[in-house]
């Protein structure tokens, strides 16, 4: 019962009940990406994405980002873009996590550019 209520009233758990109904009745599946996100388009031209896990806008790869923002791209003509062997796989925003990038990180943690007078 709690899962049903969470699905109906919270937008951060993939989609709400209204989004689900709109997708069923008016949405046409355009494609999916390697992360499992599904991309839809209506007859009127509106586009939206249903995320596979938690909702985070940084989980949209570049080719689908340009599609959802109506930027001309090859994805309009073919739904799978070739990726070269030198291209890195898409990564979500890691800010605030342990995997975040710190430019002056050493073995003890983050290296400070100053020394505090109280220790």
Mean confidence (pLDDT) of the chain = 77
The kind and range of the H/E element at 26 are: helix 17-26
Residue 46 confidence (pLDDT): 92
SS3 75: helix
**Stated pTM of the model:** 0.59
Tens digit of each residue's pLDDT (9 = 90 or more) over 13-39:
667 777 788 888 999 999 998 888 999
Four-point Cα dihedral 55, 3, 24, 54, nearest 10: 10
- From CA 16, how far away is CA 9, in angstroms rounded? 6
CA-CA-CA-CA torsion sign (108, 95, 101, 37): positive
Of 63, 57, 65, the closest CA to residue 95 belongs to 57
Higher pLDDT: 110 or 48? It is 48
Tens digit of each residue's pLDDT (9 = 90 or more) over 56-81:
788 888 778 888 888 875 555 555 56
Q: What are phi and psi of 26, to 5 degrees?
A: -120, -10
Q: How many Å separate Cα 90 from the centre of its chain?
A: 10
């Amino acid at each position: 019962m709690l899962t049903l209520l969470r699905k109906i009233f919270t937008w951060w758990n993939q989609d709400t009940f209204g989004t689900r109904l709109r997708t069923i009745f008016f949405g046409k599946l355009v494609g999916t990406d390697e992360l499992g996100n599904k991309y839809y388009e209506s007859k009127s031209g509106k586009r939206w994405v249903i995320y596979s896990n938690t909702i985070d806008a940084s989980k949209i790869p570049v080719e689908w980002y340009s599609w959802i923002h109506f930027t001309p791209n090859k994805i309009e003509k073919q739904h799978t873009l070739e990726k070269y062997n030198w291209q890195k796989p898409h990564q979500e925003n890691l800010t605030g996590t342990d995997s975040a990038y710190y430019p002056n990180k050493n073995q003890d943690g983050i290296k400070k550019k100053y020394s505090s007078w109280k220790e």
